[in-house]
Amino acid sequence: MRWYPWLRPDFEKLVASYQAGRGHHALLIQALPGMGDDALIYALSRYLLCQQPQGHKSCGHCRGCQLMQAGTHPDYYTLAPEKGKNMLGIDAVREVTEKLNEHARLGGAKVVWVTDAALLTDAAANALLKTLEEPPAETWFFLATREPERLLATLRSRCRLH
Protein backbone atom coordinates (compact mmCIF):
# COMPACT_ATOMS: atom_id res chain seq x y z
CA MET A 1 0.00 0.00 0.00
CA ARG A 2 1.41 3.35 -0.98
CA TRP A 3 1.95 6.06 1.64
CA TYR A 4 1.55 9.70 0.59
CA PRO A 5 3.34 12.58 2.34
CA TRP A 6 0.13 14.62 2.68
CA LEU A 7 -1.30 11.90 4.94
CA ARG A 8 1.29 12.41 7.68
CA PRO A 9 -0.25 15.49 9.39
CA ASP A 10 -3.69 13.86 9.52
CA PHE A 11 -2.23 10.57 10.70
CA GLU A 12 -0.23 12.21 13.49
CA LYS A 13 -3.20 14.32 14.59
CA LEU A 14 -5.49 11.28 14.73
CA VAL A 15 -2.93 9.13 16.56
CA ALA A 16 -2.38 11.93 19.09
CA SER A 17 -6.12 12.00 19.77
CA TYR A 18 -6.12 8.23 20.36
CA GLN A 19 -3.08 8.53 22.64
CA ALA A 20 -4.83 11.24 24.66
CA GLY A 21 -7.95 9.08 25.01
CA ARG A 22 -10.00 11.45 22.85
CA GLY A 23 -10.08 9.38 19.66
CA HIS A 24 -13.58 9.03 18.27
CA HIS A 25 -14.78 5.45 17.96
CA ALA A 26 -16.06 6.03 14.41
CA LEU A 27 -14.32 8.06 11.73
CA LEU A 28 -15.98 8.83 8.42
CA ILE A 29 -13.15 9.47 6.01
CA GLN A 30 -14.03 11.29 2.82
CA ALA A 31 -11.45 11.35 0.05
CA LEU A 32 -11.21 11.51 -3.69
CA PRO A 33 -10.01 8.38 -5.51
CA GLY A 34 -6.25 7.97 -5.27
CA MET A 35 -5.79 10.31 -2.30
CA GLY A 36 -4.69 7.51 0.04
CA ASP A 37 -7.66 7.03 2.36
CA ASP A 38 -7.00 3.29 2.32
CA ALA A 39 -3.36 3.85 3.36
CA LEU A 40 -4.43 6.21 6.15
CA ILE A 41 -7.01 3.74 7.47
CA TYR A 42 -4.54 0.85 7.29
CA ALA A 43 -1.86 2.84 9.16
CA LEU A 44 -4.35 3.87 11.86
CA SER A 45 -5.54 0.28 12.15
CA ARG A 46 -1.98 -0.98 12.53
CA TYR A 47 -1.34 1.59 15.23
CA LEU A 48 -4.51 0.69 17.16
CA LEU A 49 -3.82 -3.05 16.94
CA CYS A 50 -0.11 -2.78 17.79
CA GLN A 51 0.73 -4.19 21.21
CA GLN A 52 3.86 -2.02 21.62
CA PRO A 53 3.40 1.24 19.67
CA GLN A 54 6.43 3.48 19.43
CA GLY A 55 5.40 7.11 19.44
CA HIS A 56 3.08 7.66 16.50
CA LYS A 57 3.95 4.36 14.82
CA SER A 58 3.22 0.69 15.19
CA CYS A 59 6.29 -1.27 16.25
CA GLY A 60 6.23 -3.67 13.29
CA HIS A 61 7.47 -6.57 15.44
CA CYS A 62 4.77 -7.59 17.92
CA ARG A 63 2.26 -10.34 17.21
CA GLY A 64 -0.42 -7.80 16.26
CA CYS A 65 1.86 -6.10 13.74
CA GLN A 66 3.00 -9.40 12.26
CA LEU A 67 -0.61 -10.53 11.81
CA MET A 68 -1.56 -7.20 10.20
CA GLN A 69 1.37 -7.49 7.79
CA ALA A 70 0.27 -11.02 6.92
CA GLY A 71 -3.34 -9.88 6.46
CA THR A 72 -4.57 -12.34 9.08
CA HIS A 73 -5.21 -10.28 12.23
CA PRO A 74 -8.24 -11.87 13.94
CA ASP A 75 -9.47 -8.53 15.36
CA TYR A 76 -9.33 -6.60 12.07
CA TYR A 77 -12.48 -6.76 9.99
CA THR A 78 -13.01 -5.41 6.49
CA LEU A 79 -16.56 -4.87 5.26
CA ALA A 80 -16.67 -4.77 1.47
CA PRO A 81 -19.19 -6.00 -1.11
CA GLU A 82 -18.86 -9.65 -2.09
CA LYS A 83 -17.40 -10.38 -5.51
CA GLY A 84 -19.94 -9.75 -8.22
CA LYS A 85 -22.08 -7.49 -6.02
CA ASN A 86 -22.20 -3.73 -5.92
CA MET A 87 -23.85 -3.34 -2.50
CA LEU A 88 -22.83 -4.23 1.03
CA GLY A 89 -25.63 -6.23 2.63
CA ILE A 90 -26.95 -6.78 6.12
CA ASP A 91 -25.59 -10.33 6.43
CA ALA A 92 -21.98 -9.14 6.23
CA VAL A 93 -22.63 -6.40 8.79
CA ARG A 94 -24.36 -8.79 11.18
CA GLU A 95 -21.52 -11.31 10.87
CA VAL A 96 -18.98 -8.69 11.91
CA THR A 97 -21.10 -7.11 14.66
CA GLU A 98 -21.60 -10.53 16.26
CA LYS A 99 -17.82 -10.97 16.40
CA LEU A 100 -17.40 -7.51 17.91
CA ASN A 101 -19.42 -8.56 20.94
CA GLU A 102 -16.88 -11.28 21.71
CA HIS A 103 -13.56 -10.64 23.45
CA ALA A 104 -10.72 -9.50 21.22
CA ARG A 105 -8.73 -12.54 20.12
CA LEU A 106 -5.43 -10.87 21.03
CA GLY A 107 -6.85 -9.10 24.06
CA GLY A 108 -6.55 -5.58 22.67
CA ALA A 109 -8.55 -3.45 20.27
CA LYS A 110 -10.87 -4.44 17.44
CA VAL A 111 -11.00 -2.48 14.19
CA VAL A 112 -13.64 -2.44 11.45
CA TRP A 113 -12.98 -0.87 8.05
CA VAL A 114 -15.99 -0.25 5.82
CA THR A 115 -14.31 0.18 2.44
CA ASP A 116 -17.14 2.22 0.91
CA ALA A 117 -19.92 3.14 3.30
CA ALA A 118 -22.03 4.52 0.43
CA LEU A 119 -22.53 0.92 -0.73
CA LEU A 120 -24.32 -0.12 2.47
CA THR A 121 -27.93 -1.11 1.88
CA ASP A 122 -30.43 0.68 4.13
CA ALA A 123 -30.82 -2.48 6.23
CA ALA A 124 -27.04 -2.87 6.54
CA ALA A 125 -26.62 0.81 7.46
CA ASN A 126 -29.27 0.49 10.16
CA ALA A 127 -27.62 -2.66 11.55
CA LEU A 128 -24.27 -0.87 11.66
CA LEU A 129 -25.91 2.17 13.23
CA LYS A 130 -27.02 0.13 16.23
CA THR A 131 -23.43 -0.91 16.87
CA LEU A 132 -22.11 2.62 16.35
CA GLU A 133 -24.61 3.95 18.90
CA GLU A 134 -23.31 1.59 21.58
CA PRO A 135 -19.91 0.31 20.44
CA PRO A 136 -18.15 -2.43 22.38
CA ALA A 137 -15.15 -1.25 24.40
CA GLU A 138 -11.90 -0.73 22.48
CA THR A 139 -13.66 -1.04 19.12
CA TRP A 140 -12.84 1.41 16.35
CA PHE A 141 -14.66 1.97 13.06
CA PHE A 142 -13.32 3.54 9.89
CA LEU A 143 -15.91 4.27 7.22
CA ALA A 144 -14.51 5.39 3.89
CA THR A 145 -16.64 7.09 1.27
CA ARG A 146 -16.41 9.38 -1.69
CA GLU A 147 -20.02 10.50 -1.21
CA PRO A 148 -20.97 11.06 2.45
CA GLU A 149 -24.28 12.59 1.38
CA ARG A 150 -25.41 9.11 0.24
CA LEU A 151 -25.20 7.80 3.81
CA LEU A 152 -28.11 7.82 6.21
CA ALA A 153 -28.04 11.07 8.18
CA THR A 154 -28.21 9.11 11.43
CA LEU A 155 -25.16 7.06 10.41
CA ARG A 156 -23.21 10.21 9.53
CA SER A 157 -24.17 11.76 12.86
CA ARG A 158 -22.54 8.90 14.79
CA CYS A 159 -19.20 9.45 13.07
CA ARG A 160 -16.59 12.17 13.13
CA LEU A 161 -16.04 13.39 9.58
CA HIS A 162 -12.42 13.56 8.55
Residue 84: the pLDDT is 86
- Counting the structural domains of the chain, the total is 1
What per-residue confidence (pLDDT) applies to 33? Answer: 87
In the structure, what pLDDT confidence band is assigned to residue 10 with cuts at 50, 70 and 90?
Answer: very high
The pTM (predicted TM-score) of the whole model is 0.94
Dist. CA 142–CA 162, nearest whole Å:
10
Give 100-142 pLDDT, tens digit per residue. Answer: 999 999 989 999 999 999 999 999 999 999 999 999 999 999 9
> Are the C-beta atoms of residues 108 and 138 closer than 8 Å to each other?
yes
Here the CATH number for the domain that contains residue 84 is 3.40.50.300
Query: What domain range is 59 assigned to?
Result: 5-161
- Average per-residue pLDDT for the chain: 94
Per-residue pLDDT at 47: 97
Residue with the larger pLDDT of the pair 33 and 143: 143
Whole-angstrom distance, CA of residue 152 vs CA of residue 129: 9
Identify the burial level of 13 via C-beta atoms within 10 angstroms of its C-beta, where 0-12 means exposed, 13-18 middle and 19 or more buried. exposed
Confidence tier at 1 by pLDDT (50, 70, 90): low
Does residue 61 contact residue 67 with C-beta atoms inside 8 Å?
no
Q: What percent of the chain has pLDDT over 70?
A: 99
